[in-house]
Amino acid sequence: MAVRLNGFEMSEEIRKRRLEKLEALRASGVEPFGRKFGGIISIGDMRSREGKAGEKVRTAGRITAIRGHGKTAFMDIQDSSGKIQVYFKEEHLGAGSYALLEHLDIGDIIGVEGSLFTTRAGELTILVDEFSILSKALRPLPEKWHGLKDTELRFRRRYLDLISAKETLATFLVRSRIIKSMRRFLEERSFVEVETPMMQPIAGGAAARPFITHHQALGLDLYLRIAPELYLKRLLVGGMEKVYEINRNFRNEGISSRHNPEFTMLELYQAYADYEDMMELTEELIYALAQELGLGEKFTYDDKEINLARPWKRETFTRLFEKSTGVDIDDEKQVRQKAQELEVPTQGKAHYQLANDIFEAAVAPQLASPTFVLDFPRAISPLTRAKEDAPHLTERFELYLGTLEIANAYTELNDPLEQRERFLEQLKLVEDKEAGWVRELDEDFLLALEHGMPPAGGLGIGIDRLVMVLTGHTSIREVILFPLLRPPSDV
RNA sequence: GGGGGCGUAGCUCAGUCGGUAGAGCAACGGCCUUUUAAGCCGUGGGUCGCGCGUUCGAUUCGCGCCGCCCUCACCA
C-alpha cells in the first residue's frame, strides 16, 4: 500500500467533514479537545465488577463503533484495558446534549458518566447521564473488522495498529512485564542497575560495525555503542560487584527478521563468579519469566516443541559441531571442506570463525529447547578466560532457545596482560576496510584492568529475541514498537 | 548487495486475455428508543506506488526507480 506522507492523503474529504464538525462543536460552545477527566475507573475494572445494575460509573476511551437508532445510540468505547458499550438516549440526556452526538465520530475520545445496566442481549452497558469530548479525531480509524493488515502501515503507524489489534497491544504489554520482572529478579539478588555511555570514543565489547556520530563543541567523532561491556567491567574494577544495564545497542549491519539496528540487551556482571553461575542465573531467570507469563514448561514456538523442564541441556560447542558435521573442529582443512559442502562462504574467514558460521548454519536450527552451548574457541572469544585444561577453548556459553541465540556469557578475562595480547590477536584477525572507522585498542580499558578487576561472570541476554520466543513472534519487528524502516518516498 | 513476492478508495480486498475500475467497512443524506460486524433507502469518494517506453489507447505489456515482506549474503 502506498503511503504518501509528504503529499496529502486521499482522506482529505473525510478530514474536511470532521473539521466542519469540530467547528460546529465550538460554535455551540463545546471544546472538542477537552481537559483532564478525573475520577474514572478503567473499563477492565468495570467489567470485573459486573452485575451491579444502577451503579454510577465514570470512564473514558476511544469510540470504536457507533450504532444509531433514531432517538438513541449505542457506541463502543475502548481503553487499554478493554471495551464497553455506552448507550445514549435523547429522552434521558435532553435534546440539547443529545444533538451533539451528530458531531461525534468513530475515533473520537470521550469521557462518560452514567449508570450500569445490562441489555436484553446480555451486554453490560453504561446508560450515559453526561459526556465530554476529550479529543476530536480528524482522521478515520482502520477498518473495524479486519483492522490494519498491511505490515508496512502497521509499523509506520504503530499507534493505529495498537488501537485496532489487541494482540499487538498485548505483545507490548508482555514485553513491558518481562523487563519489569527481569529488574525485580535482579534487584532481589542485589544487582545494581547502572547506565553507561551510549556514545563512546572507541566502539568496543563486540565485533560489529558501529554507527558514527559527531560532537560539535568537542569537535569529536563518537560511536554509538555496540556493547556496554568494557564500561561495565570498569565498574567491577571500581568495586561495584553486581551490576546490570538494560538498554540499547546499535549495530550498523544488515536488517533481518532477527536483527534490528538498535536492539535491547540485558548485560550483567557478578564479581567472584564464573560462567557456571551465569548458566544457573540464566536458567532461573528465563524459567521464572516463562512461568510468570503462564507458558508452562512446554509450549510451541514457530511450529517447534519447546520444553523448559530443568535442568537445561548443556553440550560443548565442539561436541555439537562434530556430532552434526562429523568433522574434527581443530582440523582446518576439514572445516574448510565442510564449509564448501554446506555452501557457507569461506572468503576471508579464519579457521574458527568459519567453524562458528558452520555451527550457525548446521547446528543452531536444531536447538529449539533451551540448550547451553559451552566452551567456544578462544580465537573468537577475545574477552573470555581460557579453560585451564584446554587453553584453546574458553569458559563461555551461548544459550539457544527456539533456534535463536538468546544469551552469551563467560567467565571474564581479568588478566590485563593477556587481555592486551588477545586484543592484538583480534585486530590481526579482523582487517576492517570500512571507511571512517578503525578498530582501536581501548587503552583506557586496559589501564582499568591493570588496577585489578575481580574474577567475574558476565552475561548478555538479547531482550528482543527473548520476547519473540515468549510471545510467539518470528520477526523482531513485531516486538519493537518502531522498528527501523526506510522513510517512505513520495516520488 | 543477489533472488522471489507484493503495491488498486481512508481501511480490507475483487477486477481489467490493453478500451481510464468494483464490493464491504468508514464517510455523507434520510428512516429507526435494547443494537452489537445493527438494519433499510439513497449519495459522494480513485493521477490503479512513481517515471519512461510500446500502442490509436496503458491500471493492465516492457524497462527503470521507490517502498514493504520472504530468502540468501554481510555480521567476535
**What's the complex ipTM?**
0.91
Quote the mean pLDDT of chain A: 91
Residue nearest to nucleotide B49 (CA to C1'): A2
Question: Does the pTM exceed 0.90?
Answer: yes
CB A195 within 8 A of CB A245: yes
Three cell numbers at A13? 474529504
d(CA A192, CA A439): 31
Q: A79-106 pLDDT, tens per residue?
A: 999 999 999 999 999 999 999 999 999 9
Nearest nucleotide (C1') to alpha carbon of A150: B68
Q: Domains of chain A: which residue ranges?
A: 11-135, 155-312+369-479
CA of A313 to C1' of B53 (A): 62
Same fold, A11-135 and A155-312+369-479: no
Q: A182-214 pLDDT, tens per residue?
A: 999 999 999 999 999 999 999 888 888 889 999
CB A334 within 8 A of CB A328: yes
Nearest nucleotide (C1') to alpha carbon of A430: B76
Nearest nucleotide (C1') to alpha carbon of A425: B76
Nearest nucleotide (C1') to alpha carbon of A139: B10
Written as one string, the DSSP assignment of A429-489 is: H-----TT------HHHHHHHHT----EEEEEEEHHHHHHHHHT-SSGGGSSSS---PPPP
CA of A380 to C1' of B50 (A): 47
CA of A425 to C1' of B73 (A): 26
Dihedral angle, C-alpha A459, A460, A461, A464, nearest 10 °: 170
CA of A10 to C1' of B20 (A): 19
Lowest mean pLDDT among A7-16, A89-98, A261-270, A442-451: A7-16
Q: A291-321 pLDDT, tens per residue?
A: 999 999 999 999 899 999 999 999 999 999 9
CB A195 within 8 A of CB A218: no
Nearest nucleotide (C1') to alpha carbon of A92: B33
Q: Report CA-CA distances (Å) from A95 to A32, A72, A92, A221.
A: 19, 11, 9, 67
> A155-312+369-479 in CATH: which number?
3.30.930.10
CA of A71 to C1' of B33 (A): 6
Tell me, which fold does domain A11-135 have in CATH?
Answer: OB fold (Dihydrolipoamide Acetyltransferase, E2P) (2.40.50)
Written as one string, the DSSP assignment of A366-405 is: G--S-EEEE--BGGG-TTBPBPSS-TTBBSEEEEEETTEE
- Write down the residue that cell numbers 529447547 correspond to: A369
Query: Looking at strand B, which nucleotides approach a protein CB closer than 7 A?
Result: 1, 7-13, 24-28, 31-39, 44-47, 49-50, 66-76
Measure the CA angle with vertex A169, ends A65 and A181; round to 5°.
Answer: 150
In terms of Cα–Cα distance, which of A256, A162, A180, A188 is closest to A481?
Answer: A162
CA of A73 to C1' of B33 (A): 9
d(CA A397, CA A314): 9
CA of A196 to C1' of B76 (A): 21
Residue nearest to nucleotide B27 (CA to C1'): A14
Residue nearest to nucleotide B30 (CA to C1'): A70
Three cell numbers at A296? 508452562
Nearest nucleotide (C1') to alpha carbon of A143: B11
Q: A102-154 pLDDT, tens per residue?
A: 999 999 999 999 999 999 999 999 999 999 999 999 999 999 999 999 999 99
CA of A17 to C1' of B44 (A): 12
